[in-house]
Structure 1
Amino acid sequence: MKKLISSFFIIVLVVFLSACSSSSSGSDKEVLEVALWDENVSDAVDASIKSFNEEHPDVKVNVTYTPYANYWTKLKTSLGGGSGPDVFWMNGPNFYKYSTDGLIKNLEPFIKEEDKFKKDEYVPAVVDLYSMEGELYAAPYFTDSVGLYYNKQLFDDAGVDYPDDSWTWEDIETAGEKLTNPDEGIFGYAAHTTVNQQGYYNLIHQAGGYVISEDKTKSGFDSPESKEAFSFIKNLIDKGISPSTQKQIETESKQLFMSNKLAMLPAISVNTPELYESLGENLAVAPLPKGKQEASIVHGIGWSMNDKVENEDLAWDLIKSLTSEQANKDIAESGFSIPAMQSTGEIWLNSVPSLDLQVFLDAQKNGVAYPISKRTSEWQDIESKEIQSAFLEGTSIDDALDRVAEESNRILEEENSE
């Protein structure tokens, strides 16, 4: 009997202490978990959360930043297990998979006539990117396009004129040879083989080809245009103008650029603040040099809601705060990237006064939407493996591209028969 009474008091004491601990730590607040991968946007995200908390002071918002390399694995594992963050970043390549697998909510039912969230206020391409049959599944946050960043000091040292809107692939090679200095470990240009949006996707379209057809039924990797684009890449690597694929794997081209070891870097607008912080007034940007035509791949990030979220109305209020006009102004003023709300794009132009950021807005007007289908990640995995293997092993690039097209066509055919 004494043991029973003693056990009872121990249980009561534990419950009491737990309650005190919960109260003192503020865990009685409702909690929303937010996940994304780029800490460079943390100031803007924090400002939006502060605004949200003005209307919801009893809600605690936790933000977790996971490096992109681990983000999708961690996210899918947690969501698949019935947990995961309440609100999180979504990108084009993963959108169809997450929406068709029922991992994210259809946001359309939350959008009310009297709501401050209006779809037509955002860049149409990004709204379309995150819509299925006209229903929105991720609220547009920011957009990005591709430009040619360059190091003015390296150009000046080599006596090479700066790039402008008249430049073509031929100019990349001609200037790149003059800018390359093996003795100093300096490369003229980054011919990307390990990233697609900043690299070969643009070149394929500039050559007049496509990654996948508009009706999403056919791969364009085996086309003469795609093979022309990769022949151009191979030539730049073989001449030592560009870092090799092995070098790109060992040291990201962006890091070489920020270390004054790379003169020209095709990259997305999101990189602007980081590159400017490293190079300062030596940083400049120009339009991507054209092939047969101009082309820049346009993409954007959206906020999605966990399909298993406990308080969907509260999560929607947070998404509205994260995509509000003020949130877009914060993104624009930070220089992080082009805000998705069309009315705030001009603000971004002045975020780094010394750079001609109009380059990226112009690229959006004539840009090419990032290629996606229902099973993008599957054919992109094949694409990445085959292309990198060919460059690493010195085997036929054309054969690798044929294999990419064959496997991609199989996946696309399966998609369209589902």
Structure 2
Amino acid sequence: MVESHPSKRTLSRRNFLRGVFFGASGVALAACVAPQAPQAAQTEAGGSGAAPAAQEAVTLSFLTQGGNDTAFLRYEPLIDNFQKANSAITIEPIWEPGGAIEIQTKLLTLIAAGDAPDVYWAHSYTNSGQAVRNIQLDLNPFLEADPDISGDDFLLAAWKDFQYEDRQIGFPRETTSTVMIYNVELFERHGLPLPTDNWTWADFLEAATAITEGDGPDKIYGTADWHLNRNTWIKMWQKGGDVLSEDRTKFTMNQEPSISQVREIQRWHHELGIHLPATVAEAGGFTTGDLFTTGKIGMFPQFSVFSNVMASEFPWDIAHLPTDPDDIRTTRVASAGHSVYSGTEHPDAAWQWIKYLGSEEAFRHWVEATGLNVPSLKVVAESLLETSADVLPEHAQIMLDAFEYGRPEPVAGDWIGIHREVQPALNSIYGVEKADPQQALDAIAARVEELAVYVPGV
């Protein structure tokens, strides 16, 4: 059952978790107050997230994902540990099942009711829409006053996922970059050179064409998953195109250079036949990962979580996405993390909590207790590559290197709604309908532009 008010879970669960892991809407938004600068108090030396010594007792509400044991394991031990070191601060969690859209709905409902959380789980897909309303507290004044934490500690593109204009509106927790996964055996069988750091789209096309063979259910496809909007966008970005104009108000996928890239991916599907039709997987109830593990796909772009291809009985690896000499080296990054509500009455205590959630101690807990795949804190991400070397691909370092040139999606307004408009249009272009790209994208332009300027809660 969804809890509609702050609550703690049972003491027995809290004690158990402590022992295991730390043994030693219809209503208008309330006006958001202006961000407050941090007080002069300094943290205690050596204390991760330590509170000022003379701080008054405060209770912070913390809205985050809940509803299953993994969600509780993710935060309850951290809450206990933080409160031990900060006896003046009590964290009251608000558990809300779901993802970005469910958490945002809950957040806006609580703000409208005058019961907003002090700190909350956030996602890059909803950040900018909230930032237009100044919902997030600008953390720059706190970062400037506190030498213990810095943006340099985090993977670059993940850190940028929590920026809006000149404001730092939160800290990333987990993140992903998009890389190419490829079947080494298929490349070697066809005498193809393996992808390098500077392979081109011509190299990609040559490999995809050579690997594609057979007919019917036994057909092997050179590539897959470029039909997904997020992957189409990367190819557009490389050529200087985008989903929206620079001010994020106008739809530009139906203009050059973006539309040429849509036409090229359409050619892979229909004229060249090197791309797995989405309907092949959907009709059989398979995922792209399932088909890759059976040797039916040569390579495909995916965000850097590899659990879906671990069952492969052949060697596989990852590579940077191809680029041509005049391209912009880029890829897609998406992140989730935490923000402070700009209307909090306890900005200094909220800073201590979110700073702790950005600490090495918190990140190592998430990795060890809940299997966080790509932590955004550099030191933990890099050590995870070392400790997991036996199960990760040989060139796993590439997924971290990609954060140096990756970029967030041009998030604006109802970004999840924009995803839902663009994907069916691409499905009609790349699918059996073979829709004309110009007509299909022109047809959704007005609706995308409405969603792009939508302000949540208004």
Q: How does 1:328-347 map to 2 (within 5 A)?
A: 328=363, 336-344=372-380, 346-347=382-383
Q: How many equivalent pairs are there? A: 388
2:410 to 339, 353, 371: 371
In the alignment, what sits opposite 1:76? 104
In the alignment, what sits opposite 1:170? 202
1:257 to 292, 295, 305: 292
Residues 264 and 111 of structure 1, relative CA distance in 2, 3 Å threshold: same
Residues 94 and 280 of structure 1, relative CA distance in 2, 3 Å threshold: farther
Amino acid across the alignment from 1:169: W
User: Structure 1 stretch 141-150 or stretch 103-112: which is displaced more?
Assistant: 103-112
- What is the Cα deviation at residue 95 of structure 1? 1.0
Could you list the runs of 5+ residues in structure 1 that have no partner in the other structure? 1-21
- What is the Cα deviation at residue 124 of structure 1? 4.9
In the alignment, what sits opposite 1:224? 256
| Structure ID, larger Rg | 1
Contact 2:429 2:435 in 1 (8 A): yes
1:384 to 418, 423, 427: 423
Return the structure number with greater helix share: 1
In the alignment, what sits opposite 1:34? 64
1:138 to 164, 170, 176: 170
User: Structure 1 stretch 142-151 or stretch 115-124: which is displaced more?
Assistant: 115-124
SS of alignment partner, residue 81 of structure 1: helix
Does structure 1 residue 402 correspond to structure 2 residue 442? yes
Residues 94 and 24 of structure 1, relative CA distance in 2, 3 Å threshold: closer
Contact 1:35 1:88 in 2 (8 A): no
In the alignment, what sits opposite 1:286? 319
In the alignment, what sits opposite 2:224? 190
- What is the Cα deviation at residue 285 of structure 1? 0.7
2:85 to 34, 39, 55: 55
- What is the Cα deviation at residue 120 of structure 1? 4.8
- What is the Cα deviation at residue 34 of structure 1? 3.0
Contact 2:100 2:123 in 1 (8 A): no
In the alignment, what sits opposite 1:322? 357
- Length-normalised TM-score, structure 1: 0.73
SS of alignment partner, residue 150 of structure 1: strand
Amino acid across the alignment from 1:184: D
> 1:193-246: CA deviations, max 9, x gaps?
2341xx111111223322333333443312232222112211222244222233
Residues 249 and 116 of structure 1, relative CA distance in 2, 3 Å threshold: farther
CA distance in 2, matches of 1:48, 1:320: 12
User: Structure 1 stretch 330-339 or stretch 282-291: which is displaced more?
Assistant: 330-339
Contact 1:139 1:303 in 2 (8 A): yes
- Length-normalised TM-score, structure 2: 0.67
In the alignment, what sits opposite 2:278? 245
Q: How does 1:289-304 map to 2 (within 5 A)?
A: 289-291=322-324, 292-293=326-327, 294-304=329-339
SS of alignment partner, residue 252 of structure 2: coil
User: Structure 1 stretch 362-371 or stretch 281-290: which is displaced more?
Assistant: 362-371
